[in-house]
Chains A and B, each alone.
Chain A
Amino acid sequence: MSRPARLVLALSAGLLAACQTAPAPAPTAAPSHAEIVRGELAQILAVEYPACGTVRQHSRHDRLDYLVVCDSGVTFRVRVGGDGRVLITPADGR
Protein backbone atom coordinates (compact mmCIF):
# COMPACT_ATOMS: atom_id res chain seq x y z
CA MET A 1 0.00 0.00 0.00
CA SER A 2 1.36 3.41 -0.93
CA ARG A 3 2.28 5.90 1.75
CA PRO A 4 -0.53 8.42 0.93
CA ALA A 5 -3.08 5.61 0.97
CA ARG A 6 -1.85 4.49 4.38
CA LEU A 7 -2.09 8.07 5.61
CA VAL A 8 -5.67 8.39 4.37
CA LEU A 9 -6.53 5.06 5.98
CA ALA A 10 -5.03 6.11 9.29
CA LEU A 11 -6.84 9.44 9.21
CA SER A 12 -10.14 7.73 8.39
CA ALA A 13 -9.67 5.29 11.25
CA GLY A 14 -8.93 8.17 13.58
CA LEU A 15 -12.03 10.07 12.48
CA LEU A 16 -14.19 6.99 12.91
CA ALA A 17 -12.82 6.44 16.40
CA ALA A 18 -13.50 10.06 17.31
CA CYS A 19 -17.07 9.87 16.03
CA GLN A 20 -17.92 6.90 18.18
CA THR A 21 -19.93 7.94 21.18
CA ALA A 22 -18.26 7.34 24.48
CA PRO A 23 -19.99 4.75 26.61
CA ALA A 24 -22.35 6.31 29.12
CA PRO A 25 -20.83 6.45 32.59
CA ALA A 26 -22.27 4.00 35.04
CA PRO A 27 -24.93 5.73 37.13
CA THR A 28 -23.59 6.55 40.56
CA ALA A 29 -25.83 5.84 43.49
CA ALA A 30 -27.33 8.97 45.02
CA PRO A 31 -25.90 9.68 48.46
CA SER A 32 -28.11 8.95 51.41
CA HIS A 33 -29.69 11.83 53.29
CA ALA A 34 -27.48 11.10 56.32
CA GLU A 35 -24.36 11.27 54.13
CA ILE A 36 -25.43 14.64 52.74
CA VAL A 37 -26.14 16.03 56.21
CA ARG A 38 -22.81 14.83 57.61
CA GLY A 39 -21.01 16.28 54.59
CA GLU A 40 -22.65 19.68 54.92
CA LEU A 41 -22.00 19.83 58.67
CA ALA A 42 -18.35 18.92 58.07
CA GLN A 43 -18.08 21.75 55.50
CA ILE A 44 -19.59 24.23 57.96
CA LEU A 45 -17.31 23.14 60.79
CA ALA A 46 -14.23 23.13 58.56
CA VAL A 47 -14.35 26.92 58.20
CA GLU A 48 -13.70 27.50 61.90
CA TYR A 49 -12.41 24.13 63.09
CA PRO A 50 -10.51 22.44 60.25
CA ALA A 51 -9.26 19.83 62.71
CA CYS A 52 -12.79 18.44 63.00
CA GLY A 53 -12.39 16.39 59.85
CA THR A 54 -15.32 14.12 59.19
CA VAL A 55 -18.47 14.15 61.26
CA ARG A 56 -18.89 10.99 63.29
CA GLN A 57 -22.33 11.63 64.70
CA HIS A 58 -24.93 14.35 64.79
CA SER A 59 -28.33 15.08 66.24
CA ARG A 60 -30.78 17.77 65.27
CA HIS A 61 -32.50 19.53 68.12
CA ASP A 62 -34.38 22.10 66.12
CA ARG A 63 -34.65 23.04 62.48
CA LEU A 64 -31.44 25.06 62.55
CA ASP A 65 -29.75 23.65 65.63
CA TYR A 66 -27.37 20.66 65.67
CA LEU A 67 -25.08 18.86 68.04
CA VAL A 68 -22.16 17.45 66.10
CA VAL A 69 -19.43 15.01 67.14
CA CYS A 70 -16.25 15.21 65.06
CA ASP A 71 -14.13 12.20 64.29
CA SER A 72 -11.68 13.49 66.91
CA GLY A 73 -14.41 13.15 69.54
CA VAL A 74 -14.82 16.89 70.05
CA THR A 75 -18.46 18.02 70.11
CA PHE A 76 -19.87 21.29 68.81
CA ARG A 77 -23.21 22.97 68.75
CA VAL A 78 -23.93 24.39 65.28
CA ARG A 79 -26.91 26.69 64.99
CA VAL A 80 -28.30 29.77 63.32
CA GLY A 81 -28.90 32.90 65.36
CA GLY A 82 -31.76 35.33 65.05
CA ASP A 83 -29.76 37.51 62.68
CA GLY A 84 -28.98 34.58 60.38
CA ARG A 85 -25.40 34.16 61.59
CA VAL A 86 -24.07 30.63 61.89
CA LEU A 87 -22.79 30.09 65.41
CA ILE A 88 -20.42 27.28 66.30
CA THR A 89 -19.56 26.66 69.92
CA PRO A 90 -17.87 23.80 71.75
CA ALA A 91 -20.70 21.79 73.23
CA ASP A 92 -19.70 22.45 76.81
CA GLY A 93 -20.42 26.14 76.18
CA ARG A 94 -16.91 27.44 76.72
Chain B
Amino acid sequence: MRPPRPPRSSALLVALALLSGGGEPRAQSASAHAAALQACPKVKEEIVDLGMLAEGLKQSGAVGMIEKLRLKSAIDDLVGRFKAFHRGNRHYSLSELQEQYDLLMMRIAQQLQDKDVALHGQLCNAWGTIWGTLQDRGRFMETFS
Protein backbone atom coordinates (compact mmCIF):
# COMPACT_ATOMS: atom_id res chain seq x y z
CA MET B 1 0.00 0.00 0.00
CA ARG B 2 1.34 3.37 -0.96
CA PRO B 3 1.85 5.55 2.09
CA PRO B 4 0.20 8.95 2.20
CA ARG B 5 2.22 11.78 0.71
CA PRO B 6 3.08 14.38 3.33
CA PRO B 7 1.41 17.76 2.95
CA ARG B 8 3.54 20.59 1.59
CA SER B 9 4.14 22.17 5.00
CA SER B 10 5.50 18.86 6.31
CA ALA B 11 7.55 18.43 3.18
CA LEU B 12 9.13 21.81 3.85
CA LEU B 13 9.93 20.82 7.44
CA VAL B 14 11.41 17.56 6.20
CA ALA B 15 13.56 19.39 3.66
CA LEU B 16 14.80 21.76 6.36
CA ALA B 17 15.58 18.84 8.65
CA LEU B 18 17.51 17.08 5.89
CA LEU B 19 19.43 20.23 5.07
CA SER B 20 20.30 20.81 8.69
CA GLY B 21 21.31 17.15 9.11
CA GLY B 22 23.28 17.07 5.89
CA GLY B 23 23.61 13.27 6.08
CA GLU B 24 25.98 13.51 9.04
CA PRO B 25 25.10 12.67 12.60
CA ARG B 26 24.61 15.55 14.95
CA ALA B 27 26.40 15.53 18.24
CA GLN B 28 25.08 12.57 20.19
CA SER B 29 22.65 13.98 22.68
CA ALA B 30 22.47 11.82 25.78
CA SER B 31 18.82 12.61 26.42
CA ALA B 32 17.71 11.78 22.87
CA HIS B 33 19.72 8.59 22.74
CA ALA B 34 18.50 7.53 26.14
CA ALA B 35 15.13 6.57 24.65
CA ALA B 36 16.49 3.83 22.40
CA LEU B 37 17.26 0.37 23.80
CA GLN B 38 16.50 1.39 27.37
CA ALA B 39 13.55 -0.95 27.79
CA CYS B 40 14.83 -4.23 26.37
CA PRO B 41 12.84 -7.22 27.62
CA LYS B 42 14.50 -9.48 30.16
CA VAL B 43 15.96 -12.62 28.65
CA LYS B 44 16.92 -16.00 30.07
CA GLU B 45 20.06 -16.47 28.00
CA GLU B 46 22.26 -13.66 26.79
CA ILE B 47 24.00 -13.24 23.48
CA VAL B 48 27.50 -11.83 23.83
CA ASP B 49 28.94 -11.78 20.31
CA LEU B 50 28.05 -11.71 16.63
CA GLY B 51 28.77 -15.42 16.28
CA MET B 52 26.06 -16.25 18.80
CA LEU B 53 23.66 -13.89 17.04
CA ALA B 54 24.43 -15.51 13.67
CA GLU B 55 23.85 -18.95 15.20
CA GLY B 56 20.56 -17.76 16.72
CA LEU B 57 19.48 -16.48 13.33
CA LYS B 58 20.43 -19.76 11.72
CA GLN B 59 18.23 -21.69 14.16
CA SER B 60 15.35 -19.22 14.12
CA GLY B 61 12.22 -20.01 12.19
CA ALA B 62 11.43 -16.30 11.89
CA VAL B 63 13.69 -15.62 8.96
CA GLY B 64 13.45 -17.27 5.54
CA MET B 65 16.40 -19.12 4.04
CA ILE B 66 17.27 -16.45 1.47
CA GLU B 67 17.16 -13.68 4.07
CA LYS B 68 19.28 -15.80 6.43
CA LEU B 69 21.93 -16.08 3.74
CA ARG B 70 21.77 -12.35 3.04
CA LEU B 71 22.09 -11.48 6.71
CA LYS B 72 24.95 -13.94 7.17
CA SER B 73 26.72 -12.35 4.22
CA ALA B 74 26.10 -8.87 5.65
CA ILE B 75 27.48 -9.94 9.04
CA ASP B 76 30.58 -11.42 7.35
CA ASP B 77 31.07 -8.21 5.34
CA LEU B 78 30.86 -6.11 8.50
CA VAL B 79 33.32 -8.35 10.35
CA GLY B 80 35.65 -8.04 7.36
CA ARG B 81 35.49 -4.25 7.55
CA PHE B 82 36.31 -4.36 11.27
CA LYS B 83 39.21 -6.75 10.58
CA ALA B 84 40.59 -4.30 8.04
CA PHE B 85 40.10 -1.41 10.46
CA HIS B 86 41.92 -3.16 13.30
CA ARG B 87 44.76 -4.04 10.91
CA GLY B 88 45.23 -0.36 10.20
CA ASN B 89 43.09 0.15 7.07
CA ARG B 90 41.19 3.39 7.62
CA HIS B 91 38.83 3.26 4.63
CA TYR B 92 36.02 3.59 7.17
CA SER B 93 36.32 5.49 10.43
CA LEU B 94 35.24 3.92 13.71
CA SER B 95 32.13 6.13 13.87
CA GLU B 96 31.22 5.03 10.32
CA LEU B 97 31.66 1.40 11.32
CA GLN B 98 29.45 2.00 14.33
CA GLU B 99 26.73 3.36 12.08
CA GLN B 100 27.09 0.37 9.73
CA TYR B 101 26.85 -1.95 12.74
CA ASP B 102 23.76 -0.17 14.07
CA LEU B 103 22.01 -0.37 10.71
CA LEU B 104 22.73 -4.06 10.35
CA MET B 105 21.40 -4.66 13.87
CA MET B 106 18.29 -2.65 12.96
CA ARG B 107 17.83 -4.81 9.87
CA ILE B 108 18.11 -8.00 11.93
CA ALA B 109 15.89 -6.64 14.72
CA GLN B 110 13.21 -5.80 12.19
CA GLN B 111 13.21 -9.37 10.87
CA LEU B 112 12.82 -10.77 14.38
CA GLN B 113 10.63 -8.33 16.27
CA ASP B 114 7.25 -9.83 15.38
CA LYS B 115 8.27 -13.42 14.79
CA ASP B 116 10.95 -14.41 17.28
CA VAL B 117 10.42 -12.32 20.39
CA ALA B 118 12.99 -14.25 22.43
CA LEU B 119 15.84 -13.75 19.96
CA HIS B 120 14.78 -10.14 19.40
CA GLY B 121 15.02 -9.56 23.16
CA GLN B 122 18.47 -11.13 23.20
CA LEU B 123 19.57 -8.90 20.33
CA CYS B 124 18.23 -5.81 22.08
CA ASN B 125 20.16 -6.63 25.25
CA ALA B 126 23.33 -7.53 23.33
CA TRP B 127 23.41 -4.42 21.12
CA GLY B 128 25.89 -2.56 23.30
CA THR B 129 27.90 -5.62 24.32
CA ILE B 130 28.57 -6.71 20.75
CA TRP B 131 29.59 -3.18 19.82
CA GLY B 132 32.00 -3.18 22.76
CA THR B 133 33.71 -6.29 21.34
CA LEU B 134 33.82 -5.00 17.77
CA GLN B 135 35.38 -1.65 18.57
CA ASP B 136 37.99 -2.97 21.01
CA ARG B 137 40.99 -4.21 19.01
CA GLY B 138 42.15 -6.72 21.62
CA ARG B 139 38.74 -8.25 22.21
CA PHE B 140 37.97 -8.27 18.50
CA MET B 141 41.20 -10.08 17.59
CA GLU B 142 40.62 -12.56 20.39
CA THR B 143 37.12 -13.30 19.10
CA PHE B 144 37.66 -13.28 15.34
CA SER B 145 41.21 -14.44 14.70
Instruction: Indicate whether B21 reaches chain A with its CB closer than 8 angstroms.
Output: yes
A40 touches B104 (CB 8 A): yes
How many cross-chain pairs have Cβ atoms below 8 Å apart between A and B?
134
Binary interface encoding of chain A residues 16-49 relative to chain B, with 1 for a CB under 8 A from any of its CBs, else 0: 0000000000000010011011001101100101
- Size of the A side of the interface (Cβ < 8 Å), in residues, is 41
Complex partner residue of B17 from A33, A59, A78, CB under 8 angstroms: A59
Which A residues form the contact surface with B (CB < 8 A)?
A: 30, 33-34, 36-37, 40-41, 43-44, 47, 49, 51, 57-65, 67, 69, 73-76, 78-86, 90-94
Given A67-B17, A69-B18, A80 contacting B109 (CB threshold 8 A): yes
Complex partner residue of B33 from A43, A49, A63, CB under 8 angstroms: A63
Which B residues form the contact surface with A (CB < 8 A)?
A: 2-7, 10-11, 14, 17-18, 20-26, 28-29, 32-33, 35-41, 81, 91-92, 96, 98-100, 102-104, 106-107, 109-111, 113, 120-121, 123-124, 127
What chain A residues lie within 8 Å of B124 (beta carbons)?
Answer: 83-84
B33 touches A62 (CB 8 A): yes
A59 touches B5 (CB 8 A): no
Q: How far is the CB of A36 from chain B (nearest CB, A)?
A: 5
Complex CA distance for A58 and B106, rounded to whole angstroms? 16
B23 touches A60 (CB 8 A): yes
Complex partner residue of B24 from A30, A40, A60, CB under 8 angstroms: A60
